[in-house]
Amino acid sequence: MTKALTPPVAKKVPYHMENHGHQRTDNYYWMRDDNRQDEEILAHLKAENAYCEAVMKPHAALKATLFEEMKGRIVKDDSSVPVKDGRYWYTNEVSGEEEYGRHYRALNENMDNKELILDVNELAKEHEFYELAELIVSPNDALLAYCDDTDGRRIYTARFKDLATGALLEDVLVETEGQIVWGNDNQSVFYVKKDLQTLLGFQVYRHVLGTPQSEDVLVYEEQDRQFYMGLGKSRDESEIFIYLSATETSDVLYLDANHPDGEFKRLLARQEGHEYGLEKFGDYYYLLSNSDAKNFRLVRAVTDEVGDPSKWQEIIAHRDDVLLEGLELFDSHFVITEREKGQIRFVIHDYQGASYQLGFDDACYYAGVAYNPEPSAQSVRISYSSLTTPSSIYECDLVTGEKTLKKQMKVLGDFNPTEYASERVHITARDGEEVPVSIVYRKSCFKKDGTNPLLQYGYGAYGFTIDPVFSSSTLSLLDRGFVYVIAHIRGSEMLGRRWYEHGKKEHKENSFNDFVDVTRALVDMQYGDAGKIFASGGSAGGLLMGAVINQAPELYLGIGCHVPFLDVLTTMLDESIPLTTNEYDEWGNPNDKEYYDVILSYSPYDNLVAKRYPNTLVTTGLHDSQVQYWEPMKWVAKLRELKTDDNLLVFKTDMDSGHGGASGRFKSLHEKALEMAFFISLLPESAR
């Protein structure tokens, strides 16, 4: 009955392109509308949504059950661990069916006589989509700045609140990047202005409270549009930073926070290929730098000598097998985050040269330095999670390393972590590289005999590592016998900087090959049934899905392809599309024929052909600012035209959201329930 439904058929309007003497014809180029107002396009998206709903209607009860299961594991009344920042302790609370939180502060850790400073539910109640980007209190604790987005395009409006009276100030700053940094005068704020065409932050303005935005002063403009722009404040709050980062180059400008009307100065001469992270504390700048150090090294320099690398003092030397990922400075110690063989650990150093390691015992896990705003603290807060351990906050004594569990996320229902098991295995790819793979399953449901359904997830881009963290929603699959797998393919930094570099530009094909080779190996190792293999990915992971099913469609019963980057070549040739110029060092600039040919060889949209493809669920957001809605829309239309099978192809567009999907803590579960129901419905009745 389901397959008898008729999917929408898109019209074909040939659009011809020629680059480097190579001609392409795009029959669905007409689907692009930057204003998102074309009635024909909107009607087609709504028809796709109706078709998706009709296809999934027989599984509506399953989807509802999955949603209620996932929602039922979430603690309705919950709060974060209070954090001290200046005179006050801060916490966030959620209650009942609320989608968003309420922010409080108090003068003690017990939160006695707590003061409500922002109720996000009130702010969001008139909007289908609402995202709070940043919430930051002025140095004198009197004013609150917050930035919000109400359409999912990640274009934020900054507002200000008097915490004594609860009244909003008249100041409203529009079209910002979503960050506010306070000058130490409590009257000056800095923000990044967005280019509304490319959606790139490219200008920094200074605003003085009580004046109109039209009078704000432009303090810096970046001419090279390959750089992302952000703001920050030094650990000792003495300086304000403008952070500029291209894929392969870093740059920082600084300003005395006590003199916010001064001029920003460049910290170091900009050098192509030099990437670094920066912190200032007291008389020193500390840099995690890749200068002569692919995996980074830690150096420091007195403030007036940092611009001369010959004056840098090396504290931690480069190592070929250890990636330095982070630095947190305290009065008495500093904490380095390291990754070796894919595993994170912390090394606690004092300033006299002594150090010790702080690690965890799970087979595979994620840990990170949590929010630690007070440099005078005697302990460091660490966040921790594994595939079988819910998100936890530990307080670790800086002198002894003793860990105290402050809070662990509660999972309602009958969840028992001992009933689940995780593994880390390494699989040999076709070129001999060993790919790390994280695996989790429910012990009572798993037999290593090649009978279990298996869902494999991947990303593999930008050096971003998908670490093995706990997901209460994934329990709904594990409890139904699924094995869940994360393939840590090249393009991430799981195995250091080289792992990333061997998964981008001319080496991008390695990411796709790794993913396919992991799937084949897991079937051979009998972790999953060859006829019950699923795969999922979003954004650059959606590109991964498109490339994988072009290469090896026969391996997968079902695919989840979310906010996917599928029309890589056309997008990378168009500098008017948001984020294109920033991506040249990731994918290559196709205006150069070498990279044109590389991207053409794998771009999922350009490589669709007449053959059988897996059952596929595609999702996007109409207001997506990262990957425009028309990429998946075009890909679905072309795939429908070419595929020779009668497998399902359904496409759902959230007409209110952007790249991150639906907002709120419960709304987003509907998207997860849809994918799970889609996958489970494809299994034989006996296996559901």
- Does 10 share its domain with 144? no
- The H or E element that residue 407 is part of is strand 403-408
- Does 181 share its domain with 163? yes
Q: Could you tell me the residue range of the domain that residue 387 belongs to?
A: 321-409
Confirm whether 444 is domain-assigned: yes
Number of domains in the chain: 4
Distance between CA atoms of residues 451 and 529, nearest Å: 5
The answer on pLDDT for 663 being more than 70 is no
Spatial neighbors of 427 by CB under 8 A, at least 6 apart, are: 434, 435, 437, 517, 518, 521, 522
| Mean pLDDT in residue range 144-162 | 93
**What is the tens place of the pLDDT at every residue in 237-284?**
999 999 999 888 999 999 999 999 999 999 999 999 999 999 999 999
* Torsion angle defined by CA atoms of residues 33, 39, 44 and 49, in that order, rounded to the nearest 10 degrees: 100
**Residue after which a domain boundary falls, among 365, 381, 409:** 409
Q: Which amino acid is at 503?
A: G
- In the chain, what percentage of residues exceed pLDDT 70? 98
Confirm whether 598 is domain-assigned: yes
**Residue after which a domain boundary falls, among 287, 317, 347:** 317
Range list of H helices, 378-508: 475-478, 497-501
Distance of CA 361 to the CA centre of its chain: 26
Tokens of 177: 């990047």
- Does 503 share its domain with 379? no
In Å, how far are 132, 160, 513 from 178, measured between CA atoms? Answer: 9, 13, 37
pLDDT of residue 2: 47
- Does 371 share its domain with 248? no
Confirm whether 98 is domain-assigned: no
Confirm whether 614 is domain-assigned: yes
N residues, the chain: 688
The answer on pLDDT for 141 being more than 90 is yes
- In the chain, what percentage of residues exceed pLDDT 90? 89
Beta strand 250-256 pairing with 239-245:
antiparallel
The answer on pLDDT for 339 being more than 60 is yes
Distance between CA atoms of residues 12 and 27, nearest Å: 5
Distance between CA atoms of residues 558 and 4, nearest Å: 19
| Mean pLDDT in residue range 201-230 | 95
CATH of the domain at 13: 3.40.50.1820
Q: Which amino acid is at 590?
A: P
pLDDT of residue 626: 81
- Does 293 share its domain with 354? no
Q: Which amino acid is at 343?
A: Q
Query: Please, which pLDDT band fits residue 662 given cuts at 50, 70 and 90?
Result: low
Pick from 429, 427, 566: nearest CA to 507: 429
**Residue after which a domain boundary falls, among 239, 258, 274:** 274
Buried-state track 336-355, b at ≥16 Cβ within 10 A, e below 16: bbbbeebbbebbbbeeeeee
- Does 680 share its domain with 537? yes
pLDDT of residue 1: 39
| Mean pLDDT in residue range 310-333 | 96
Contact predicate 532/508, CB 8 Å: no
Range list of H helices, 301-448: none
- Does 306 share its domain with 351? no
pLDDT of residue 688: 67
The answer on pLDDT for 661 being more than 70 is no
- Does 498 share its domain with 579? yes
Query: Please, which pLDDT band fits residue 4 given cuts at 50, 70 and 90?
Result: low
Which sign, positive or negative, has the C-alpha torsion 357, 359, 363, 368?
negative
Confirm whether 243 is domain-assigned: yes
Indicate the DSSP class of residue 295.
T
- Does 371 share its domain with 447? no
Q: What is the mean pLDDT of the chain?
A: 94
Contact predicate 104/442, CB 8 Å: no
CATH of the domain at 209: 2.130.10.120
Distance of CA 134 to the CA centre of its chain: 16
pTM for the model:
0.91
As separate numbers, helices (DSSP H) first and strands (DSSP E) second, the chain gives 12, 39
**What is the tens place of the pLDDT at every residue in 494-542?**
999 999 999 999 999 999 999 999 999 999 999 999 999 999 999 999 9
- Does 222 share its domain with 173? yes
**What is the tens place of the pLDDT at every residue in 457-496?**
999 999 999 999 999 999 999 999 999 999 999 999 999 9
**CA end-to-end span of the chain:** 19
Distance between CA atoms of residues 519 and 487, nearest Å: 9
- Does 153 share its domain with 296? no
Confirm whether 106 is domain-assigned: no
Beta strand 558-562 pairing with 615-621:
parallel
Spatial neighbors of 165 by CB under 8 A, at least 6 apart, are: none
| Mean pLDDT in residue range 287-295 | 96
Query: Please, which pLDDT band fits residue 153 given cuts at 50, 70 and 90?
Result: confident
Q: Determine which of 163-177, 193-207, 324-338, 530-544 has the lowest per-residue pLDDT on average.
A: 193-207
Residues carrying an active site annotation:
539, 624, 659
Contact predicate 124/81, CB 8 Å: no
Confirm whether 102 is domain-assigned: no
- Does 306 share its domain with 382? no
**What is the tens place of the pLDDT at every residue in 414-444?**
999 999 999 999 999 999 999 999 999 999 9
Confirm whether 209 is domain-assigned: yes
